[in-house]
Structure 1
Amino acid sequence: MAREQGRKLIAQNKKARHDYAIDDTYEAGLVLQGTEVKSLRQGRASLVDGFVDIDRGEAWLHGVHIPEYSQGTWTNHSARRKRKLLLNREEIDKIERRVAEKGLTVVPLSLYFLNGRAKVEIATARGKKTWDKRHTLAERQANREVEQAVGRRLKGMSD
């Protein structure tokens, strides 16, 4: 079988970008069981309730839902088990310091295959208040309206 090339997106956590102000992003590998990989290859996963915890110098991904593989037998995995993240020691230490000092949290943003290997993009993030969320939505709407007006102007249509 030919080896996969490029990036294949499995799941994205759109709610994280809405609920959190993202600071730094990191790419981490995942330690998975065989049935988890097969389930991910079918494009089934949910990152909505996921978070990262650093315990004794190791990063762990909690709350990510990878459903059981449909053709799996007694070897199937549990859907919401914690999974170890593969990061460099410097990255783990940096994340741990930032979370301890500034009161940040670490959330998964996306889950994908990169050249046949499962990867997760994680980010240190600060929770937004409700007014921050409204401000972001208003800003996005204003930018959209400006782009539409510019597009209409370029096409020669009146406002």
Structure 2
Amino acid sequence: MPREKGRKVIAQNRRARHDYHIDDTYEAGLVLTGTEVKSLRAGRASLTDGFAHVKNGEVWLENVHIPEYAHGTWTNHAARRPRKLLLHREEIAKLVGKTEEAGRTLVPLSLYFSEGKAKVELALARGKRSYDKRRDIAEREAKRDIERALRRRR
């Protein structure tokens, strides 16, 4: 069986880009069970309310919903169980220091398969205030209006 190439996105957390200022991103592998992988290959997952934290020198992904595999048996997994993330030791050391700063958190941005392996894109993020969110929305609408005006001109 040939290995799949490229990147197949399973789930994205669009809300994270709205609620947080993204400072840095990391790619991490996931420790999964067989039924979780099958459920992900079916394209089923939700990153809403997901977050990651460092505990005892390991990074854990919490609150990410991977539904039970439809054809699974008693060996099926729990949908919202904590999942260990695979990162290099140096990256974990950096994350420990940066997440201890006030207002910083680890948020999953997307879940995907890269060359057949399940990966998660983690973001080191700072929470946005409500006025920041309003300003971003106003800027986006202004850009849309400008684009519309330019298209009508042609």
TM-score by length of structure 2 reads 0.97
- Cα displacement (A) at 1:11: 0.2
Q: Deviations over 1:89-143 (max 9, x none)?
A: 1111111101112430100000000010000000011111111111100011111
Runs ≥4 in structure 1, deviation > 3 angstroms? none
Question: What letter is aligned with 1:114?
Answer: S
Q: How far apart, in 2, do the equivalents of 1:151 and 1:57 lie? A: 53
SS at the partner of 1:25? strand
Q: How far apart, in 2, do the equivalents of 1:50 and 1:14 lie? A: 12
Matches within 5 A, 1:41-80: 41-80=41-80
Q: How far apart, in 1, do the equivalents of 2:150 and 2:99 lie? A: 42
Is 1:12 the counterpart of 2:4 in the alignment?
Answer: no
Q: How far apart, in 2, do the equivalents of 1:23 and 1:102 lie? A: 14
Gaps of 5+ in 1: none
**Which of structures 1 and 2 has the bigger CA Rg?**
1
Q: How far apart, in 2, do the equivalents of 1:11 and 1:25 lie? A: 16
Q: How far apart, in 2, do the equivalents of 1:111 and 1:64 lie? A: 10
- Cα displacement (A) at 1:12: 0.3
Matches within 5 A, 1:6-155: 6-153=6-153, 155=154
Q: Deviations over 1:17-58 (max 9, x none)?
A: 111111100000000000000000000000001000100110
Q: How far apart, in 2, do the equivalents of 1:107 and 1:118 lie? A: 17
Q: How far apart, in 1, do the equivalents of 2:113 and 2:39 lie? A: 12
SS at the partner of 1:60? strand
- Cα displacement (A) at 1:150: 2.4
Q: How far apart, in 1, do the equivalents of 2:132 and 2:6 lie? A: 36
TM-score by length of structure 1 reads 0.94
- Cα displacement (A) at 1:5: 0.8
Question: What letter is aligned with 2:147?
Answer: E
Gaps of 5+ in 2: none
SS at the partner of 2:100? helix
Question: What letter is aligned with 1:118?
Answer: A
